[in-house]
Amino acid sequence: MSERLIMHIDMDAFFAAIEQRDDPSLVGKPVIIGALPGKRGVVSTCSYEARVFGIHSAMPISEAFRRCPQGVYLKPNGPAIREASHLIVETLRGISPVVEPVSVDEAYVDISGLERLIGPPDVIGRLAKQRIREATRLSSSVGIGPNRLIAKLASDAHKPDGLTIIRADQVQAFLYPMPVENMRGVGKHSAESLKRRGIHTIATLRTWSEERLIAVFGDASGRMLYRQARGIWSDHVGEHESRKSISKEHTFNEDCCDPETLRQTMLELAADVARTARREGLTGRGIRLKLRLDGFETHTRSTTLAHPTNLDDVIFKEGWRLYSTSAFCSRPVRLIGIGIFDWSAPVQLDLFDKPNERKIRLAGAKDDIVARFGKSILGIKKAK
DNA sequence: TCTGGGGTCCTTAATCTA
DNA sequence: TCTGTAGATTAAGGACCC
């Protein structure tokens, strides 16, 4: 079998680059996309001119403004972003039929076997970059490797406008000097935990056995670290998995103590969740409330309904019940959010009126069924 | 410095059930 | 019918990603 080749495309400073493209007066200026100064929020992305000031994504907007008051601060331009994103995916589909968008500005493409049709990986990579530039007037960074992990790290290696190709026999040399925080699933918390144990680079991580990593970091994380240190990762590119939840949340500009404002906000959020769910033809049994209080203290409360729903008032009522029966309902609220999840059908139950003789099978909550059939049944068992 | 919004996945503990 | 137990399910919290 021929070598697997996965290409990862990552757009350069995507939201900011769109603004600079559409308004030439912004070219060469620090452009910061995210919340507006004076409001609560963070930087979503920023132009390379803004990065000179030490600004980066996820930085509080107040801090960004302190560092660069002369910057141009804008909210993301949703329609322009979606349009460019669509063009990028269509362009990539013109190169390979196997394209997996992972976000608005990133995609994986399986280019295995295209070498005979198009040329070696560097020719394929340059072609992708060139066609994306022609379609969108935007620059991208491309990485090509034997699997998704290596392709993604390769696209990160030379930004902006980079093209990096890592062949299977170059993977070790590519990975070894990297800091542990470059790995998937290793954020601030895990990186600190690894460093406390003397693991700063992937080369050191590689010296740990799988058993030892599992013992320290748990089953899933331990296995993942072990595999990543060896450059082992999925090379499957396919359709994006269907979504598992729908949620909406709102952060108040000042912590909210007014129950009526909270109620009204939750009503609007619930309506928004319900609208999205109906549009996508989804109904959920799980309702989850999210609260963020003063001091950034975050709590969730969830419940399972007897029947799946996508109705505004059902979502709101359950959300409000979770809130008003929680221990937090008298505290100032920074953020409130509500969501639905669990698209599974109600549990199937068998009803018996004689021992071992099934009378009827139906779907629903056990309590509802007992209430409906009462004493006329002998027992209920979960359907096999 | 003071931290959005919309998601996914993992871990742990409590509870339910076969 | 009672009881102990293993496995499944539910709920909550947290890390992480884009």
Residue A334 has pLDDT above 70, yes or no: yes
Query: In chain A, which residues from 41 to 60 place their CB closer than 7 Å to nucleic acid strand C?
Result: 58
Q: Sign of the CA dihedral A121, A125, A130, A135?
A: positive
Whole-angstrom distance, CA of residue A372 vs CA of residue A356: 21
* Nucleotides on strand B lying under 7 Å from protein C-beta: 1-12, 17-18
Whole-angstrom distance, CA of residue A241 vs CA of residue A59: 30
Name the percent of chain A lying above pLDDT 90: 73
Contact flag, residue A381 CB and nucleic strand B, below 7 A = yes
Catalytic residue IDs of A: 106
Provide the CA A172 to C1' B1 distance, Å, integer. 38
Cβ atoms of A10 and A107 within 8 Å: the answer is: no
* Nucleotides on strand C lying under 7 Å from protein C-beta: 10-18
Q: pLDDT digit string (tens) for A158-187?
A: 999 999 999 999 999 999 999 999 999 998
Contacts of A304 (CB under 8 A, 6+ apart): A285, A286, A287, A342
Q: pLDDT digit string (tens) for A55-102?
A: 999 999 999 999 999 999 999 999 999 999 999 999 999 999 999 999
CB neighbour burial string for A43-55, b if at least 16 within 10 angstroms, e if fewer: bbbbbbbbbebeb
Higher pLDDT, residue A372 or A152: A152
Name the percent of chain A lying above pLDDT 70: 89
Can you tell me the mean pLDDT for A221-225? 90
Q: pLDDT digit string (tens) for A186-207?
A: 988 899 899 999 999 999 999 9
Contact flag, residue A62 CB and nucleic strand C, below 7 A = no
Nearest nucleotide, CA A301 to C1': C12
Contacts of A94 (CB under 8 A, 6+ apart): A131
Query: In chain A, which residues from 233 to 292 place their CB closer than 7 Å to nucleic acid strand B?
Result: 241, 243-251, 276
Can you tell me the mean pLDDT for A27-48? 95
Provide the CA A253 to C1' C6 distance, Å, integer. 50
Query: In chain A, which residues from 95 to 154 place their CB closer than 7 Å to nucleic acid strand B?
Result: none
Contact flag, residue A304 CB and nucleic strand B, below 7 A = no
Residue A375 has pLDDT above 50, yes or no: no
Contact flag, residue A244 CB and nucleic strand C, below 7 A = no
Cβ atoms of A77 and A15 within 8 Å: the answer is: yes
Cβ atoms of A49 and A31 within 8 Å: the answer is: yes
Provide the CA A118 to C1' C1 distance, Å, integer. 75
pLDDT at A117: 96
Q: Which amino acid is at A234?
A: S
Q: pLDDT digit string (tens) for A282-324?
A: 999 899 999 999 888 899 999 988 888 999 999 999 999 999 9
Name the token pair of A188.
């601030």
Return the beta strands (E) in A18-59 as ranges: 31-34, 43-46
Can you tell me the mean pLDDT for A206-215? 91
Provide the CA A375 to C1' C1 distance, Å, integer. 21
Q: pLDDT digit string (tens) for A116-139?
A: 999 999 999 999 999 999 999 999
Contact flag, residue A299 CB and nucleic strand C, below 7 A = yes
3-state secondary structure of A222: helix
3-state secondary structure of A110: strand
| CA within 13 Å, CB half, A142 | 25
Whole-angstrom distance, CA of residue A30 vs CA of residue A51: 8
Residue A251 has pLDDT above 90, yes or no: yes
Can you tell me the mean pLDDT for A224-253? 90
Name the token pair of A47.
């132009």
Place A238 in a pLDDT band, splitting at 50, 70 and 90.
Answer: confident
Provide the CA A141 to C1' B11 distance, Å, integer. 36
**Whole-number average pLDDT of chain A:** 89
pLDDT at A362: 57
Provide the CA A233 to C1' B13 distance, Å, integer. 32
Contact flag, residue A219 CB and nucleic strand B, below 7 A = yes
Return the beta strands (E) in A310-369 as ranges: 333-341, 348-354, 357-363
User: Which residue lies nearest C14, CA-to-C1' measured?
Assistant: A298
Contact flag, residue A37 CB and nucleic strand B, below 7 A = no
pLDDT at A351: 62
Phi/psi region, residue A295 (left: phi>0; alpha: psi -120 to 50; beta: rest), is left
Model confidence, pTM: 0.90
User: Which residue lies nearest B12, CA-to-C1' measured?
Assistant: A218
Whole-angstrom distance, CA of residue A171 vs CA of residue A148: 12
pLDDT at A383: 57
